[in-house]
Each structure stands twice: as structure tokens, then as C-alpha cells.
Structure 1
Amino acid sequence: MHVGDLRWFAVLAETEHLTEAAAALGTSQPNLSRSLRRVESAFGVQLFEREHRGMRLNPYGRVVLEAARTGSAAVDSARQRIEALLDPESGTVRLGFLHSVATSLLPDLLKAFREEAPAVRFALRQEPAHDIVEDLESGEAEIGIIGPRPDPEVFGWHLLEQQRMCLHVPPGHPLASRRRVELAAAADESFVGLRPGFGFRRISEELCRAAGFTPRLAFEATDLATIDSLVGAGLGVAVLPSGAVRGNDSGAVSIPLAGVRARREIGLAWRLRAQLTPAAERFRTFVRSQPVRSS
């Protein structure tokens, strides 16, 4: 039995007349009869009472008719949704992004893209890097804005931004007036950092280790904006990428790290063996045409 058989059955159930139903469907009576037999065979019961003047739907048939109408509506809905996904002008892009790009890189990209494709919609997922990788692998997200770069054997990658590493200190801190600072100068400070599992947590720990100390954490947050706010409130200092927090009036002072060549790289990632929807492909093409940012 095929979906088309249920559609034909619904027409036959509504007319209760084989000749009229066949004419309405543009098929022959033998074809419609064979289709009905497939439906009845699938359910294991007769669905009509045969009468000398035609056919009458029986109780089993009414159950199947209800299911056929529901199923047809679901199929039609699925077809419409697929057609929408296949439309590069009005499809939906499933995009995962880091918390740290929510106030800077992401809104800039979306604003610029929407000037070119205003009808394209976005299903956004804000989460840490490891969750974005899982969503890309499962197909929950088609594209991710992520850092550091995920496995190049599995994921495509396009560099979007390189961020300089800075030490964030509270206003009035003894280091706040410096133009550059060695990270070792903050070895005795309390730090505010990200929770374990975040990609930038590993970067900041590696920088501290290279400077000869293990940071003493006063608090572990889930986003960089919270870290900036807590530093501004005097809870501690923090290693943060330049430009990662925009529009925050915490008062924290950002000082470039001296002697550190490392840059935090943020890029666009997608699963190599997955086919992007036309809308997502259009967004990827647009983003790859943009210049790499540096802060």
C-alpha cells in the first residue's frame, strides 16, 4: 500500500461510488479497485459494504478514512516544509553559535546577510563549542560559528575572525594603566573563567600555564559577558579575547597581553559529508565572501 492508495481511498469513501471516484481521480475503475484491495489487504478487513447501487463505508472504513485524511494532511505539510527548505530565497538556516559572538560577530553577519536575503529565516542555537560540534554531527545544526577549529577530517572550516588575547582587570586595578601586560604579572590574582568543557577555557588555561602558573578561580561562568561583568565588579581578573564583549558597561579594563602570539580563531564550520539546504548554502557562500576580521 502506498500513500497514493490512501488518497484514492479517501476520494472513494467520500463519493461511495466507484465510477464517480475513478472519474474524479482521472483513472480507470480497475485501477481504483486494485488500489482499494491493497488498502483492505493492509488493514485485513473490508472497508465498504457492497450494495447493488454502490458502496457504503462501514465502521472499519470510517476509522481508515480518518487516518487517511490525517495522513494526507501530514504528507502535504511535509511537502510544503521541504519545498520551503529547498527555496534559497525563503528557507531556514539552522545555525549554532558561541555565546561570545552573540553581541559582535553574529549580529553583524546576520544584518549584512539579511540585506541580501531578507526572507531567509534562521533557527538559532546558542551554546558552547562542544555542543555545536554535536549538533553539526547529528544534523540539528547545518552550520556553526565556533572556535577553536573542529576536526578537519569531519568538518569544513572558514576563518571569520582572529582575536587578540587580553587581560581584563577591574577599574582602578594597579595594572589598568599599562598599555601591555605580561600575564605572569597576574599570577597572584583571583581569576574569573569559563566552566570546564568550553573551548576558550582550554585556551586561557594554556596561556596561564605558559606564563608559569595555574589560575586560582573565584568563579566559573558560562559566557564571556558574565565574566566581563564580574571583573568590572571587582571579583577578579580574566583572560578574554579582544572584542568578544560588546556594549557592556562593566567598566573593566582590557589590556593586550605582551609576549603572546596566540590568537583566538573564530570560524564557520559545517559537516563535510552533509548536504546543506539551499538557504544554508547561500549563507555559507555569503559569509565566505566577507573579509577576515581582526581585533
Structure 2
Amino acid sequence: MPTLRDADSRHLSALVAVAEQGTFARAADSLDFTQSAVSQQIAQLEKATGVVLFDRPKGPRPAELTPAGNLVLEYARRTLARVDQMDAQLDLLRRGRSGLLLVGTFQSASAELLPNIVCAMREEVSDVDIQLDETDDLETLLREILDDELDLAFTIDAIDDPRLEIDLLGLDPFVVVVPGDEAGRGVATAHDLNTHPLIGQPDSETSQRLIDQRLTGAGVTPDYTFRFQNNNAVQSMVRSGVGWAVMPSLAVDHHDPGVAILPIDPPLPPRAIQLISRTGRTLIPAAARFRSIARRVGLDLLDPVD
């Protein structure tokens, strides 16, 4: 049974060219083909449709579309227009200037890293659609990367894993946030942390578990008075004088005049801020642009890796 599935865009282009140019010879010139090649393409299209598309009078008179030819011509023009649109979109995609990018993130990365990265992406590749998925459960981010629910994800201290491509963006030191009137202390010691009430996050949060592990390793037994999921709420409680907080530097508002930010002596091991994707998965070209910008922003906002 004849079917247009046996035709291709070259056959449709030949049909449009003959209809617009009037003769097979002029159509061949416009397409940079030979006249016999155009005739063959029209013949193949007629075979696919099962109908005659042109009346071919002898002499100088132009070829005339049959009723069936007019019907196919209408659809041919629409189809070729869609092909042109697809070509244009694919060109943007190939050049990293369009497409959908799904990015996983956690609270402090969303607050500090992402605004700079997204702003640069908007300036360089404004048609790329970036959709964000935020959670402080880094195991969820890892699972979503491995299940291809996310293209890229920010994470912390991910270990080498053959399933992952890991970009280390930089190191994020831990600091102590204290009320502003205690800035004169200069540093916070393990003894200070053992003798002050602390404000923290729920111990179900990955970042809080990392903090507690590092504090325990430094000989600190933290005494949490209040726990809040939101970094800003933690800092607000410190500002009010309720307690101190051990936080990653990236999670702290360093411009808050109501608090002071002290280094820890001796320092706790910093957390590694990483950008991950699944090994072997082909992402849109814009993902490479996102990675490049993330590395650049990491150099500005994070401590360098030794």
C-alpha cells in the first residue's frame, strides 16, 4: 500500500521547487540538482503517494499540479517548515544555547553558588531552561542523578565512584557564628564549643551529620538548644543571643552586622563542594557550559584545593 512514510524531505523539496519554479529544469537549477534527479525524486514521491502529482505538458508550458499534487504540496510546505524549525533548534542545542537542564542542589549552594552561576548562564545562553530541585538530603540527590532524574547535582564530600563524574569546585571551611558583641574573641576553641549552647539543624540533615562528626573528632560534645532546618533561622537565633552555631562558611550571611564569624582553632576539616553527573550519560551541550561556570564561581567563593 502506498504511504508517505516511504518519502523523505528531498522528495518534498523537489515537489515544492517544481510547483514554485514552474518547470523541472528551473526547479533543478534552484536545488542545484540535475533535471533527471528532480524527475526521479518526483517519480519516487508519486510512487509513495500512489497518485500523479503533476501533469507534464510537452513543450514550454509549465508543469501543472494535479488536485492530489495540490493536497500533497500543502502538507509538504508544512512539513519542511517544521524540519527547518527543528534544524534551528538543533543548531542552538549543539552550540549549547538551548535545552532543558535539571539541576539538584542543597540549601547553601542555592543561596551562594547558584545565583552567580544562573546569572552567568542567563547572560551567555539565555534560552537554556534551568530547573532546580533543592533538598538537604544528599542521598536523595545522588539517587536522582543515578536514576537520571537530574542531569547535574551539587553535593558534599562524595567519594570516588565509577558511576559518577565528579567536579571538585572547592573547599568550604567550617566557622563559628557568635553574637556580634563577642567578636573580640578572635577564634573559637574546642573548649569554647563544649561550654556554649549551640544552635543547629536537625540531625537528619546531611550537613548537620558532617558537622557533628567533625566536632566529635575534635573532642567536642555539642549541646544543641534549638534546631532549625533553615540556615537563616539558625543565624537569627545566634543574633538574638540564644547560642552559637557551627556552620559551613557557604551557609553563613557574612554581611550580617548582628553576628561575628570566628575561625575554629584548630580548624575542622572543610567540606568538599562538588558537582556530579552520571558517568556515561550524554547531556545537552549546555551542561558543559554550566560546569565551566560552576568551576569559575567556585574559585571565587570557595577555598582552593591544595
TM-score by length of 2: 0.63
Cα pair distance change 1:98/1:202, threshold 3 Å: same
Q: Following the alignment from structure 1 to structure 2, what is the Cα–Cα distance between the partners of residues 260 and 289? A: 21
- 1:80 is matched with 91
Q: What is the percentage of aligned positions where both structures have the same residue? A: 18
Does the residue aligned with 1:74 lie in a helix, a strand or coil? Answer: helix
**Contact in 2 for aligned 1:148/1:265 (Cα 8 Å):** yes
Q: Which amino acid aligns with 1:24?
A: S
Cα pair distance change 1:258/1:39, threshold 3 Å: farther
- 1:293 is matched with 303
Deviation at 1:20, TM superposition (A): 2.4
Larger radius of gyration: 2
- 1:161 is matched with 170
- 2:155 is matched with 146
- 1:15 is matched with 21
Deviation at 1:242, TM superposition (A): 2.6
Cα pair distance change 1:105/1:220, threshold 3 Å: closer
Deviation at 1:241, TM superposition (A): 1.0
**Contact in 2 for aligned 1:10/1:69 (Cα 8 Å):** no
**Contact in 2 for aligned 1:192/1:219 (Cα 8 Å):** yes
Q: Following the alignment from structure 1 to structure 2, what is the Cα–Cα distance between the partners of residues 39 and 135? A: 46
Does the residue aligned with 1:293 lie in a helix, a strand or coil? Answer: coil
Cα pair distance change 1:100/1:70, threshold 3 Å: same
**1:133-212 equivalences in 2 (<5 Å):** 134=144, 138=148, 141=151, 145-149=154-158, 152-171=161-180, 177=185, 179-182=187-190, 183-186=193-196, 189=198, 191-193=199-201, 199-207=206-214, 211-212=220-221
Q: Following the alignment from structure 2 to structure 1, what is the Cα–Cα distance between the partners of residues 74 and 242? A: 66
Deviation at 1:36, TM superposition (A): 3.5
Q: Following the alignment from structure 2 to structure 1, what is the Cα–Cα distance between the partners of residues 82 and 45? A: 14
Deviation at 1:251, TM superposition (A): 1.8
Q: Following the alignment from structure 2 to structure 1, what is the Cα–Cα distance between the partners of residues 92 and 56? A: 42
Does the residue aligned with 1:253 lie in a helix, a strand or coil? Answer: strand
Does the residue aligned with 1:273 lie in a helix, a strand or coil? Answer: coil
Structure 2: state its 5+ residue gaps. Answer: 1-6
Q: Following the alignment from structure 1 to structure 2, what is the Cα–Cα distance between the partners of residues 241 and 289? A: 15
Cα displacement string for residues 156-206 of structure 1 (whole angstroms, at most 9, x for unaligned residues)? 334333233234344468x995732434445x65x342795x642442354
Matched positions, count: 279
- 1:25 is matched with 31
RMSD: 5.0
Q: Following the alignment from structure 1 to structure 2, what is the Cα–Cα distance between the partners of residues 251 and 57? A: 83
Q: Following the alignment from structure 1 to structure 2, what is the Cα–Cα distance between the partners of residues 93 and 62? A: 34
Q: Which amino acid aligns with 2:81?
A: T
Q: Does 1:64 align with 2:64?
A: no
User: Per residue, is there more helix in 1 or in 2?
Assistant: 2
Cα displacement string for residues 184-239 of structure 1 (whole angstroms, at most 9, x for unaligned residues)? 445x65x342795x642442354577655685654322xx4554345435676543
Bigger mean CA deviation after superposition, 132-141 or 238-247: 132-141
Match of 1:248 among 252, 255, 259: 255
**Contact in 2 for aligned 1:46/1:60 (Cα 8 Å):** no
Deviation at 1:48, TM superposition (A): 2.9
Deviation at 1:248, TM superposition (A): 3.3
**Contact in 2 for aligned 1:136/1:271 (Cα 8 Å):** yes
Bigger mean CA deviation after superposition, 260-269 or 122-131: 122-131
Bigger mean CA deviation after superposition, 119-128 or 155-164: 119-128
Q: Which amino acid aligns with 1:55?
A: E
Deviation at 1:81, TM superposition (A): 1.0
- 2:8 is matched with 2
Match of 2:55 among 31, 50, 57: 50
Q: Following the alignment from structure 1 to structure 2, what is the Cα–Cα distance between the partners of residues 9 and 235? A: 80
Q: Following the alignment from structure 2 to structure 1, what is the Cα–Cα distance between the partners of residues 46 and 149? A: 38
Deviation at 1:266, TM superposition (A): 1.4
**Contact in 2 for aligned 1:192/1:230 (Cα 8 Å):** no
Match of 1:35 among 41, 53, 71: 41
